[in-house]
Amino acid sequence: MLGVFSTGLLLGALLSATVLWLASGLVAPVSADWRAGAIVALGLLAVARDAGVLRLRLPQNARQVPQDVLQRHLARGALQFGFELGTGVRTYVSASLPYALALGVLLANDAGVALLAGLGFALGRAATPALRFASGTGEEWDDRLQARLRLLTIGAATVATAAWTVLALRG
């Protein structure tokens, strides 16, 4: 079922990335230098928010995918659950990085960037259940993740912002 769930994640993330890429045509008239600077600024904003320096409420559909989705038909439910989670629009998203990534795709106005972002988002979302399953000790793994979650969140936003900065400076 993990494979079916991950396929749903990938399809959902690629749909969201495609929609963002299509909408990115609206910002195409804005200069590339300004858009690159805005992407870096959004990354810094994400780091500041996740580090607790800045309080900013993120827009989200604050409800989980219902559990009965999995109870009706396991394979179809796993695919649907993954798809909805992959789109990022029907779930809790507590970290700022997915929002910065989405806005970065919108500002980049590049189909390749959108594709890579969708793949990266799906792989990132799939990593958690895959690693939890591979650990063989789900409850202990949850405890270890919870203890490191803040560091992981801030670290991921920092690494992404550094990468965006390097890309922006390279032109």
Give the predicted TM-score (pTM) of the model: 0.85
Residue 122 confidence (pLDDT): 94
Query: Closest Cα partner for 157 from 76, 69, 79, 41?
Result: 41
pLDDT band at 50 (very low <50, low <70, confident <90, very high): very high
Residue 171 confidence (pLDDT): 64
pLDDT band at 19 (very low <50, low <70, confident <90, very high): very high
Give the contacts of 46 (CB within 8 A, at least 6 positions apart): 95, 96, 97, 99, 100, 157, 160, 161
Q: Which two tokens stand for residue 54?
A: 């800045």
pLDDT of residue 90 exceeding 90, the answer is no
pLDDT tens sequence across 106-165: 999 999 999 999 999 999 989 989 999 999 998 999 999 999 999 999 999 999 999 888
Q: Into how many domains does the chain fold?
A: 1
User: Domain range holding 40?
Assistant: 2-170
Q: Estimate the share of the chain in helix, then strand, then coil, as percent rounded to the nearest 5.
A: 80, 0, 20
pLDDT tens sequence across 57-75: 888 776 776 777 777 888 9
